[in-house]
Amino acid sequence: MSERVSGLGPRARLAVLVVVLLVAVAGAGSYVWQARQDQTAAQAAAGAPTRTDLAAVRSVPHLVFRNTALGADYGRVAMVPLAAPTGPRAVTRASCERVYATRDEAICLAADRGLVTTYRAQLLDADWAPRRDLPLVGTPSRARLSRDGSLVATTTFVFGDSYANPGQFSTRTVVSRVEGEVLGDLERFELEVDGKVVTAADRNLWGVTFADDDRFYATAASGGKTWLVEGSLAARRVTALREDAECPSLSPDRTRIAFKKHGDLPPGHWRLATYNLATGAETLLAETRSVDDQVEWLDSDHLIYGLPRSDEGTATSDIWQVPADGSGSAHLLVRDARSPAVVR
């Protein structure tokens, strides 16, 4: 071949080169097309969740979550009846990184991905349409609504605080009324630990769970320690209840706090536990895997939370359930889902 080409004139050699390149491009294009077809077929064979009617699911007690099934609905908010969590899911128009909902509204922390990714917080109405933008600075982390839907809290990771080392981040947690009034950045609230006010610049607060229209629980951190704190919006003050507790969630009967604790685990690992507000007793739960989530109470006896399916090397995750009294074992509740919220 090389000898025949070398005997041709410059134009003929150029023509041969063009033909070779076109064949190579066509072959590469065919390979990419076939790879995509194989990927699509594999996803279909995996059994993507089937859809059901949105109004029908909303009319009964249901579970709201971020859909993580691969496909066109990845990242959209979906829901299933509590009575049939493994059944067909209803998919909304909203696309969120984090979501939390009550019967009449939802808070959506969303990402706009382009050359530069930006984030926004939106209050959504009962039809999952944007109702109002909320203050948001940084990368979305946590979101909660009060039980009556009147208050909303958002937590984001932010970079560049003067006390943080290069590459490290801090948090911003803002509590607002759903009508739009900002009630406060919790980092500006007074923090009391063991009867002393902590004034260190590295204070961070995140992971709000509301008790009523004034009291709330959250995580506070400073000097390498974390605390479960009880706060008052009116007093603009939070008080530590116990050490080593993050991302609290108040039980439906308001008697216990579920949280994640670090203990003596390796960095970046946590164990789920509950804290009895009356007695101070701690109960470790049967889930022994590390859970980096603000758990949700399915009912007074069970907790649910998201776990990434890292062993499959995908971007998906699942919602798991575990008894709240430390008994039994964890089991899968909803595949291809995260950021759960129970709506009754």
The string of pLDDT tens digits covering residues 73-84 is 999 999 999 999
CA-based nearest residue to 156, from 178, 135, 126: 135
- For residue 60, what pLDDT is reported? 97
| pLDDT, tens digit (0-9, with 9 covering 90-100), for 302-320 | 999 999 987 656 678 999 9
| pLDDT, tens digit (0-9, with 9 covering 90-100), for 31-65 | 333 434 444 333 433 445 678 899 999 999 999 99
DSSP 3-state of 190: strand
| pLDDT, tens digit (0-9, with 9 covering 90-100), for 113-136 | 878 888 889 999 988 999 998 877
- For residue 223, what pLDDT is reported? 92
Domain positions in the chain: 2-36, 51-343
Phi, psi of 241 (to 5 degrees): -100, -35
pTM above 0.75, yes or no: yes
Pick the CATH number of 51-343 from 3.30.310.80, 3.30.70.3270, 2.120.10.30, 3.40.1160.10: 2.120.10.30
* Mean pLDDT along residues 91-112: 93
Q: Do 337 and 65 form a contact (C-beta atoms < 8 A)? A: yes
User: Does the structure show a pLDDT above 80 at 86?
Assistant: yes
Q: Do 238 and 226 form a contact (C-beta atoms < 8 A)? A: no
pLDDT band at 11 (very low <50, low <70, confident <90, very high): low
- For residue 10, what pLDDT is reported? 53
Q: How far apart are CA 59 and CA 338, in angstroms?
A: 22
Contacts 24+ apart (CB under 8 A), 282-286: 282/242, 283/324, 283/325, 283/326, 284/326, 285/322, 285/323, 285/324, 285/326, 286/322, 286/323, 286/326, 286/327, 286/328, 286/329, 286/330
Question: b vs e for 23-48, b when ≥16 Cβ sit within 10 Å of the residue's Cβ?
Answer: eeeeeeeeeeeeeeeeeeeeeeeeee
- For residue 157, what pLDDT is reported? 84
